[in-house]
Amino acid sequence: METRVNLWKPEYQLDIEVIDDQHRGFFDLCMKSDMLCEAAQTRPVQLQDLVHLIYAMRAYAFKHFHAEETLLLKYGYPRIYPHIRQHDVFLGKLQEFTAKLNDLLAASPSTGQEAFLDSAKGINDYLADWWGRHILSMDLDYASFIREHKGAKA
Ligand SMILES: [Fe+2]
Ligand SMILES: [Fe+2]
């Protein structure tokens, strides 16, 4: 069975250290939510699992988007605003997940296990989708732009 470590591939690297470290943290988060859903038959998803997932997503988003947008501004990346707009979409989705968590907390302890699992699956699908559609597409695009223009700004 593959471990978390060897699922990480060299092509995920943007060669911008601070960004790669943060993306790796996001990748670990994807793996964590995936395992949570996979293991749900033997270890049911708890409210506390969702609290941890959402907290980690919020911490990632606030720190990482700021770091990335600062970099895009510094290098005069021409597609900066569509990029920021996508970050805003993530933040909007995060608001939805946080609101849902708030509802589950308010209804606790009478909320059923299926509701926790449903939420975890929704988060897990979104994280995987974000990994593929944003990080491996839009982030790779700005990284190659920065690589081409690095000499001029160094
Ligand atoms: Fe990113
Ligand atoms: Fe991004």
| Distance from Cα 80 to the centre of ligand 2, integer Å | 9
Token reading at 106: 């308010």
Q: Is the pLDDT of residue 154 over 70?
A: no
Is residue 49 within 8 A of residue 36, CB to CB? The reply is yes
Find the ligand nearest to 91 CA.
2
Q: Using CA atoms, how far apart are residues 123 and 125, in angstroms rounded to an integer? A: 6
Residue spans of the domains in the chain: they are 18-153
85 vs 149, higher pLDDT? 85
Cα(46) to ligand 2 centroid in Å equals: 30
Residue 150 — very low, low, confident or very high, per pLDDT cuts 50/70/90?
A: confident
pLDDT at 111: 81
Q: For position 153, what pLDDT does the model report?
A: 57
Of 2-11, 33-42, 102-111, least confident by mean pLDDT is: 2-11
Q: What is the torsional sign of CA 106, 109, 113, 116?
A: positive
- Give 24's contacts (C-beta < 8 A, 6+ positions apart): 8, 12
- Say yes or no to pLDDT of 1 above 60: no
Q: Among 1.20.120.50, 1.10.150.170, 1.20.1050.40, 3.40.50.1100, name the CATH number for the domain at 18-153.
A: 1.20.120.50
Query: 56, 66, 17, 7: which is closest to 33 by C-alpha?
Result: 56
